[in-house]
Chain A
């Protein structure tokens, strides 16, 4: 029986299945799911836990042997099988099917398992486990659903974040739910239960944020001046090479030039711009004309000479001016 990760605690409360198979590659939900199973069965008197790690040396006979060896101290046991590869192989597949055919009455088998592909989900061993026990697939949360997901988590903890605060947090922790929950815990420690504003998130989370180069591109294209400054100084503080920044900004300028070419602009998809980023370029095109883009590209050439020591001047200062100009900020002319 398949159960969604967020429905697992409720399912555990109703009854304890003889087998739990939790698979996927999102570490936070994986950890929460296996912890929930462990905690629940421990509360039910499954006091002994045997860990079986499927390494290349692991022999699958061990599973049956462990299943059949009764314990002196505890009448109920948890067999904690770890299968990170998600591939039990021919022997493992047989061993798991045998187990499902004759599961011990005194034990729960918990399998934490890596991502399973489509063929594995149709495999005999998966079907046998699914028929007898509970299977839980943990998946990456898509960005669009992240705010909703995060809100549910916050509610469960008795916290209230403003809409902006959630949006800000989502932006910072995309793709890393472990970090997301860590930040939430941190905010709870810092500010206690109650309302959390965007500023509080900004203050607490900015300190640990690591910027990628592309965060600068995004900010520049969207014309978010404040963010441009923050990311720019962040990158500078992290010791990013100036020529990398220059490459990034000039790449964007070249793309914008192609997109605004008066005698027939190229479509974005042709230029290799991901659909998730097309909106950023759209926004930039509203500010930057073709002529202006070309002027800025010439400025890039000059900055390149600065960066490489062919001309005297402060390359970082020039880069910042370029980024801000691209973002639509009026920099004073010399």
Chain B
């Protein structure tokens, strides 16, 4: 086929040259590249690198009167977004390879315009002197999650939601056989929302006070990938998002995007049971000093074995590590510790993860002994709490 002859869409009136020759055009619009790119960025991260069905590599494009709606899915999660169109000549819907469309938009100048035409099962993309022809699959075959039936609906500010996820997402399990740990527990009560994650060795819990107009408290588990996608969509603003819940789906409605995810069907362990209540030894330590000491001592630990020894006595914290080559590191920190002498081992990675989400200058450690869990939180503030099991020394 002669590409130039058949596909040359450059015309004077903005229409494909053969528009007048009664070739039916199913979809035709013009859009600002940066608008399309922004909408694509929101959705296509959900698309897996390898798909079980060919159509799952595609993004669904629906051209309405003045808006382009996009949807991408991996059958577990669906993300929809919107972009404003400059001109709409023919409405319609189609799916195209998402990654390729994204790469085209990404590399075109941001202020350029894209003419997007669908005819005879192929999509023609023209911008200035760049031309692309993409294969398509029919929109009717695209798997779209159904609308939620009788959901529980409430509103929460983006910043509050972001805090709940940010403070706890790191402690989710990864590919654990206890599948219900590979996600985040969201507990919705009439006056608060709590998020909890655990991988069996550590636990993170964060809560937000908010009065909600709901009848009974509800616990749901969001899958790990859904949390990562959702964190990409929300920011620190005070804009409200609307959350709808059913027993097996969650939908988060944002200004220009909609996130729907299946939930993990399982019983999350009773987190209140593992929050230690009896921790007689309290230590206050400067967060940045502790972080620096841990980074340095971690150099002389092993790849897979990140054990660190804490020796606490009389306002002094000694941090020690060693590795199989018998190399050793030791740091001393002045801390506020009036308690009795304690020696306890920790996994450095777990402590670093916690220090990354703690925002007060001083960190509070509540310890008992070398075999009991340790409770860590911001100084004097327990809205976010972290429990770490020690390592055997």
Contact of A62 (CB < 8 Å), options: B198, B201, B304, B389:
B304
Interface 1/0s, chain B 242-275, versus A by CB < 8 A?
0000000000000000000000000001000010
Contact of B201 with A70 in the complex, beta carbons under 8 Å: yes
Q: Is A144 an interface residue (CB 8 A)?
A: no
Contact of B302 with A104 in the complex, beta carbons under 8 Å: no
Contact of B198 with A72 in the complex, beta carbons under 8 Å: yes
Residues of chain A with a CB closer than 8 A to B387's CB? 72
Residues of chain A with a CB closer than 8 A to B389's CB? 69-72
Q: Is B296 an interface residue (CB 8 A)?
A: no
Contact of B391 with A69 in the complex, beta carbons under 8 Å: yes
Tell me the nearest residue of chain A to B304, going by C-beta. Answer: A61
B205 to chain A, nearest CB (A): 12
Contact of A71 with B307 in the complex, beta carbons under 8 Å: no
Interface 1/0s, chain A 222-246, versus B by CB < 8 A?
0000000000000000000000000
Within 8 A of B (CB), among A137-184: none
Contact of A59 with B303 in the complex, beta carbons under 8 Å: yes
Residues of chain B with a CB closer than 8 A to A51's CB? 177
Contact of B345 (CB < 8 Å), options: A62, A67, A68, A73:
A68
> Assuming the A-B contacts A61-B304, A67-B392, are A72 and B203 also in contact, with contact meaning beta carbons closer than 8 angstroms in the complex?
yes
Q: Is B226 an interface residue (CB 8 A)?
A: no
Within 8 A of B (CB), among A15-73: 48-49, 51, 59, 61-62, 64-65, 67-73
The DSSP consensus for interface residues of chain B is loop
Residues of chain A with a CB closer than 8 A to B347's CB? 69
Q: Is B200 an interface residue (CB 8 A)?
A: yes
User: How far apart are the CA atoms of A68 and B348 in the complex, in Å?
Assistant: 13
User: How far apart are the CA atoms of A69 and B348 in the complex, in Å?
Assistant: 12
B313 to chain A, nearest CB (A): 23
Residues of chain A with a CB closer than 8 A to B371's CB? 70
Q: Is B223 an interface residue (CB 8 A)?
A: no
Within 8 A of B (CB), among A244-291: none
Residues of chain B with a CB closer than 8 A to A104's CB? 392
Contact of A68 with B392 in the complex, beta carbons under 8 Å: yes
Interface CB pairs A-B, < 8 A, 14: A48-B200, A61-B305, A65-B304, A68-B392, A68-B393, A69-B201, A69-B347, A70-B371, A70-B390, A70-B391, A72-B198, A72-B201, A72-B203, A72-B274
B203 to chain A, nearest CB (A): 6
User: How far apart are the CA atoms of A61 and B301 in the complex, in Å?
Assistant: 11
Contact of B303 with A73 in the complex, beta carbons under 8 Å: no
B310 to chain A, nearest CB (A): 14
Contact of B304 with A59 in the complex, beta carbons under 8 Å: yes
A137 to chain B, nearest CB (A): 29
A95 to chain B, nearest CB (A): 10
User: How far apart are the CA atoms of A69 and B200 in the complex, in Å?
Assistant: 10
A309 to chain B, nearest CB (A): 49
Tell me the nearest residue of chain B to A102, going by C-beta. Answer: B392
Residues of chain B with a CB closer than 8 A to A69's CB? 201, 347, 389, 391-392
User: How far apart are the CA atoms of A104 and B305 in the complex, in Å?
Assistant: 15
Residues of chain B with a CB closer than 8 A to A67's CB? 392
Tell me the nearest residue of chain B to A98, going by C-beta. Answer: B324
Tell me the nearest residue of chain A to B350, going by C-beta. Answer: A69
Residues of chain B with a CB closer than 8 A to A72's CB? 198, 200-203, 274, 373, 387, 389
A208 to chain B, nearest CB (A): 33
Contact of B274 with A73 in the complex, beta carbons under 8 Å: yes
Tell me the nearest residue of chain B to A59, going by C-beta. Answer: B304
User: How far apart are the CA atoms of A271 and B346 in the complex, in Å?
Assistant: 70
B172 to chain A, nearest CB (A): 14
Interface 1/0s, chain B 379-393, versus A by CB < 8 A?
000000001011111
Within 8 A of A (CB), among B338-393: 345, 347, 371, 373, 387, 389-393
Contact of B203 with A64 in the complex, beta carbons under 8 Å: no
Residues of chain A with a CB closer than 8 A to B390's CB? 70
> Assuming the A-B contacts A61-B305, A73-B269, are A68 and B391 also in contact, with contact meaning beta carbons closer than 8 angstroms in the complex?
yes
Tell me the nearest residue of chain A to B302, going by C-beta. Answer: A61
Contact of B203 with A61 in the complex, beta carbons under 8 Å: no
Contact of A70 with B392 in the complex, beta carbons under 8 Å: yes
User: How far apart are the CA atoms of A70 and B302 in the complex, in Å?
Assistant: 18
B350 to chain A, nearest CB (A): 9
Given A65-B305, A70-B391, A72-B200, 18 more pairs with CB closer than 8 A: A51-B177, A59-B303, A61-B305, A62-B304, A65-B304, A67-B392, A68-B345, A69-B201, A69-B347, A70-B201, A70-B371, A70-B389, A70-B392, A72-B198, A72-B373, A72-B387, A72-B389, A73-B200
A63 to chain B, nearest CB (A): 9
Residues of chain A with a CB closer than 8 A to B304's CB? 59, 61-62, 65
In the complex, the 5 A-B pairs of residues with the closest C-beta atoms, listed nearest first: A61-B304, A68-B392, A70-B389, A61-B305, A65-B305
User: How far apart are the CA atoms of A71 and B388 in the complex, in Å?
Assistant: 9
Interface 1/0s, chain A 67-111, versus B by CB < 8 A?
111111100000000000000000000000000000010000000
A28 to chain B, nearest CB (A): 24
User: How far apart are the CA atoms of A65 and B389 in the complex, in Å?
Assistant: 13
A73 to chain B, nearest CB (A): 6
Residues of chain A with a CB closer than 8 A to B392's CB? 67-70, 104
Residues of chain B with a CB closer than 8 A to A48's CB? 200
User: How far apart are the CA atoms of A59 and B371 in the complex, in Å?
Assistant: 26
A70 to chain B, nearest CB (A): 4
User: How far apart are the CA atoms of A62 and B303 in the complex, in Å?
Assistant: 9
